[in-house]
């Protein structure tokens, strides 16, 4: 829960309450214990319990509006009946609605934002991207498993923070002059719509292998969650960067080409835009040979 933005009407957050009530919202919360007077409390479905079970607690702390799904509205009906002045926003996908509302509530984000997904390599790619920007003189940060690092730092309990925290963090970064941010997009975060509402400049894919089946239940659902970065989150003016050597790359390329958005392929294959042609390692680093759309390049990287 972050309260660093002026209050806004529900309609300004893209939300419509039952009966058309358009109350002013002073903040957003997903944890009933952190609800404050005037907040919109998002009662979200969970794997263990529905957030609607805690609506009564949020109302007692002064929530002015409740966002939930039809199942949540039924669970919270007795509590809401005792607070007829509270605006009720009932939608089929409250996670998506919350992410969009959080983006509108906080408003700002760094000018350039990129996200990377994949079973392995997310932290490395996000960190290296931030370091490259720093060498270019940009005020940059990265968000992920290790928290928030770079020219702006903060702890984070999730690889991809929930949307209220994420959008509040992005607005705070922008307010501190951060212009570039690289984010890790976990499959959990994508499935739970945490990145929705972030305007991405580019999105990257590293690799795909069996993982997190305790959450996603199937290999197909796990891939669908990751693919959502390219099918849903990346805007039409964004660019997708795909590791073409991975077996799942063709499926992602098909998604990207179907949307007619920018595409850069990376790998060792002859058709890659950025093709790795050779590596030589030493005690002090490595020498990397690659071609960029046919033009050869050589770079030496220190440890």
pLDDT computed for residue 283 by the predictor: 93
Boundaries of every domain in the chain: 8-104, 108-267
The residue with greater pLDDT, 9 or 21, is 9
pLDDT above 70 covers a percentage of the chain that reads 96
> pLDDT confidence of 14, banded at 50, 70, 90?
very high
Q: Give ∠ CA 243-111-144 in degrees, rounded to 5.
A: 50
pLDDT computed for residue 227 by the predictor: 95
pLDDT computed for residue 216 by the predictor: 54
pLDDT computed for residue 1 by the predictor: 41
CA distance 269 to 94: 42
Quickly list H helices, the chain.
55-60, 70-75, 77-81, 94-106, 122-135, 163-175, 187-191, 213-216, 219-228, 249-259
pLDDT surpassing 80 at residue 33? yes
pLDDT surpassing 60 at residue 213? no
Residue with tokens 């590596």: 279
Query: What's the full length of the chain, in residues?
Result: 303
Distances (CA, A) of 6 to 39, 74, 152, 165, 194: 12, 31, 23, 16, 22
CA distance 168 to 3: 8
For residue 133, the SS3 value is helix
CATH number for the segment(s) 8-104: 3.40.1390.10
Distances (CA, A) of 258 to 104, 123, 231, 242, 254: 28, 28, 9, 15, 6
pLDDT computed for residue 140 by the predictor: 98
Predicted model pTM:
0.90
DSSP 144-194: ETTEEEESS-B--SSSS--HHHHHHHHHHHHHTT--EEEEE--HHHHHTTT
Using one digit for the tens of pLDDT, what is the confidence trace for 149-189?
999 988 877 888 899 999 999 999 999 999 999 999 999 89
Contact predicate 179/211, CB 8 Å: no
Q: Which CATH architecture has domain 108-267?
A: 3-Layer(aba) Sandwich (3.40)
pLDDT computed for residue 139 by the predictor: 98
Using one digit for the tens of pLDDT, what is the confidence trace for 104-160?
999 999 999 999 999 999 999 999 999 999 999 999 999 998 899 999 988 877 888
Contact predicate 59/29, CB 8 Å: no
CA distance 256 to 128: 24
């Amino acid at each position: 829960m972050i309260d660093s933005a002026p209050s806004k009407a529900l309609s300004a957050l893209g939300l419509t309450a039952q009966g058309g009530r358009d109350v002013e919202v002073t903040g957003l919360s997903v944890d009933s214990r952190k609800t404050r007077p005037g907040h919109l409390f998002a009662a979200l479905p969970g794997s263990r319990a529905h957030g609607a079970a805690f609506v009564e607690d949020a109302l007692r702390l002064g929530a002015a509006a409740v966002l939930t799904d039809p199942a949540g509205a039924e669970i919270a009906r007795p509590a809401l009946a005792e607070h007829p002045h509270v605006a009720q926003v009932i939608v089929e996908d409250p996670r998506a609605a919350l992410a969009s509302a959080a983006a509108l509530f906080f408003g700002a984000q760094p000018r350039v934002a990129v996200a990377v997904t994949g079973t392995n390599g997310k932290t490395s790619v996000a960190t290296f991207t931030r370091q490259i920007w720093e060498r270019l003189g940009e005020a940059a940060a990265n968000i992920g498993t290790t928290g928030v690092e770079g020219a702006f730092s903060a702890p984070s309990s999730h690889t991809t923070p929930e949307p209220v925290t994420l959008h509040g963090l992005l607005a705070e970064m922008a307010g501190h002059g951060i212009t570039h941010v690289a984010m890790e997009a976990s499959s959990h975060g994508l499935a739970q719509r945490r990145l929705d509402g972030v305007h991405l400049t580019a999105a990257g894919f590293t690799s795909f292998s069996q993982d997190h089946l305790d959450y996603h239940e199937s290999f197909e659902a796990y891939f669908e969650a990751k693919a959502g970065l390219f099918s849903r989150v990346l805007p039409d003016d964004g660019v997708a960067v795909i590791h073409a050597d991975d077996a799942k790359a063709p499926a992602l390329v098909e998604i990207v080409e179907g949307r007619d958005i920018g595409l850069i392929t990376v790998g060792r294959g002859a058709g890659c835009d950025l093709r790795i042609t050779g590596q030589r390692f030493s005690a002090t680093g490595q020498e990397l040979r690659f071609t960029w759309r046919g033009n050869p390049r050589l770079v030496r990287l220190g440890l």
